[in-house]
Structure 1
Amino acid sequence: MVRSKETDEPKPVSMYSFHSWLGVTVFASYVIQFILGFINYAYPKTHIEIRRWFMPGHRLAGNLIFVISVVTVLVGHQRFWCFAYRPDPNGGSECSRTHLCSKRLDLIQNFSTIFILIYAVLVLIVTHVDEWKREETPDEKVHKE
C-alpha cells in the first residue's frame, strides 16, 4: 500500500474479496469487544452483578472473533495459493502442473495451515475447560458476598 502511493503504478483494488471483508469484520469486532470489556471490567464503579452477567457473552464473543480470525487466515492462505500458483496462459507454471515449486512453498503452505488449525483447536480447548478457568481472588469473593 505504501509502495503504491510512492509510485505511478495503479493502486491495488481494496475490499473486493471475502478475505478482506472478514479481516475488517474481525478488526471491528475486536475493537468493539475491547471497548465494552474495558468499560465493564476496568471501570471501578461497574457493579459486580453486571460484570457477572456480561462475562459469558464476553467469552462467547471472544471465541467467535478468534474462530473468524482463524477462518480469515485460512481464506488468506487459499487466496495466496490460488494467485501465486495459477497457470499462466503460455502453458502453465511449473508449480501448478508438477508441484515442483521453488523453495517448497507448497509444503510451507500446507504445514502452516495444519499448525494454524492445531493452534486454533488448542486455544478453544483451553478456553472451554472449566478446571483451567481463572479462580476468583479473595477480593472478588468479598465483593461477591
Structure 2
Amino acid sequence: MNPEVPFNLQQDHGLYSLNDGKFPFVFKSYKYMLLRNKRDATADLMLLELFPSTLFKAIPEGKLNEKGDLVDRDTQKILLHGKDTILDKDMTETEFTDTSITQWIIFYYVRKVVKYVPCNVDWNTVFDFLSENDNVDD
C-alpha cells in the first residue's frame, strides 16, 4: 500500500479497488521488461529498459457490463462480480451494484529496446515436414 494515498477500507477490493480514482499501491521498481508476442516457445522476444518507477502511471479503466461484472478488457474474462441480490430479514430482495471496482491499466515508460530476438524456427522446414507426412497412410 502506498502510505501517501488514502485508502477507502469500506470499499476494499484489493487490486480492483477504484479508491476514488487513486491507485493505492506502490509500483514495483522494474528496470527491465521482457515481452513476447505470443504464449509459446515460437515467440519473438524483446527486452526493454524502463524509466524509473516514479514515472509509471495507473489509470482506472473498466466499468461493469450489463450483467454487473467487471470484465478484463483484453481477455473478456470476468474479473469480479459487482452486482448481487441482497435479502433482508423479511426476505425482501434488493439489487446491489458495487461501483467501487475497476481494472487498473499501468503505463510503463520505455527508455530503450535493449535486445530483440526473433523466433528462430525455420518455418520452411516445418511446412516441408508436414506436407511430406500428409501422404502417409494410417
Q: TM-score range by the shorter chain?
A: under 0.3
Higher relative strand content: 2
TM-score, scaled relative to structure 1: 0.23
Q: Higher relative contact order by CA 8 Å / sep ≥ 6: 1 or 2?
A: 2
